[in-house]
């Protein structure tokens, strides 16, 4: 099965600084890696995803990088804003399991104004 | 697109009663729906995977007779917590994926269950 480790568990940054969250996975056959943002009491929302045929994907202030050889992927948020404060989860596809995902433990990001 | 609804958003019930939670895909056909449980400040714990028209696949440690899952159509899955007890109190979230969405899962807003 797939195992996903996520670090750090909490991250505090000053508004305008960058934030980086890192995840490692165990199954080299995994090809799909989404990132979700969850605000308190709300649903997890997909913010960006990456497939193994690319090494980097960017969407405005958010970017994700993937290193398949090392089996790790990272979320980068630039010019952080207070509304970026939330819990972020990385996930990795469980191969041959019908779109099942294994989630990391989550990172609580706090952006201080 | 890819909107998932969940009902009810919160429910309070007495110990011993059963509670049904509905998960609907509003603008796509969900071939697979997933049910998660989330404890405060913790990650999403997968309970079961349901495919339309077939029996759900439960994760290890999840009692299938306690958490009944039905996926009768391509837009609706239900989770019934039978004979609920206080320890079943939690945040239950469904997600759905479909043909047009590849591997992507979209989540419902969750149901907060409190068993007294």
The beta-carbon neighbor of A93 closest among B41, B46, B103 is: B103
Q: Which parts of chain B fold into alpha helices (H)? A: none
Average pLDDT taken over every residue of chain A:
95
The beta-carbon neighbor of B43 closest among A32, A45, A105 is: A105
Average pLDDT taken over every residue of chain B:
93
User: What's the pLDDT band for B54 if we cut at 50, 70, 90?
Assistant: confident
Give me the sign of the Cα torsion angle B89, A83, A9, B32. Answer: positive
CA distance B98 to A80: 33
Q: What is the pLDDT of residue A84?
A: 98
CA distance B55 to B46: 16
What is the torsion angle, in degrees rounded to the nearest 10, for the CA atoms of residue B32, residue A68, residue B60 and residue A107? -90
Q: What is the pLDDT of residue B98?
A: 86
Residues of chain A with pLDDT under 70: none
Check pLDDT > 70 for residue B1: no
Nearest CA in chain B to A97: B49
The beta-carbon neighbor of A103 closest among B43, B104, B109 is: B43
Report the gap between the CA of A55 and the closest CA in chain B (Å).
18
Determine contact, residues A30/A97, Cβ cutoff 8 Å: no
Q: What is the pLDDT of residues B20-48, one digit of tens each?
A: 999 999 999 988 999 999 999 899 999 99
Determine contact, residues A12/A98, Cβ cutoff 8 Å: no
Check pLDDT > 80 for residue B78: yes
């Amino acid at each position: 099965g797939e195992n996903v480790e996520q670090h750090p568990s909490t991250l505090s940054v000053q508004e305008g600084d960058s934030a980086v969250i890192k995840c490692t996975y165990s199954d080299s056959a995994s090809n799909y890696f989404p990132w979700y943002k969850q605000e308190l009491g709300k649903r997890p929302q997909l913010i960006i995803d990456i497939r193994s045929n690319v090494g980097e994907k960017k969407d405005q202030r958010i970017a994700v990088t993937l290193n398949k050889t090392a089996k790790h992927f990272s979320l980068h948020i630039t010019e952080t804003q207070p509304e970026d404060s939330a819990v972020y989860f990385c996930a990795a596809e469980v191969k041959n399991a019908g779109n099942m995902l294994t989630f990391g433990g989550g990172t609580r990001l706090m952006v201080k104004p | 697109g890819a909107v998932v609804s969940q009902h009810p958003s919160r429910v309070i019930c007495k110990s011993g009663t059963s509670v049904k939670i509905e998960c609907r895909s509003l603008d796509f056909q969900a071939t697979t729906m997933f049910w998660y449980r989330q404890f405060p400040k913790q990650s999403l714990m997968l309970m079961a995977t349901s495919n339309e028209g077939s029996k759900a696949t439960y994760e290890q440690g999840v009692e299938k007779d306690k958490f009944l899952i039905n996926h009768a159509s391509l837009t609706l899955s239900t989770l019934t917590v039978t004979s609920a007890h206080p320890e079943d109190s939690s945040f239950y979230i469904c997600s759905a994926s479909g043909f047009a969405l590849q591997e992507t899962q979209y989540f419902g807003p969750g149901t907060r269950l409190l068993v007294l």
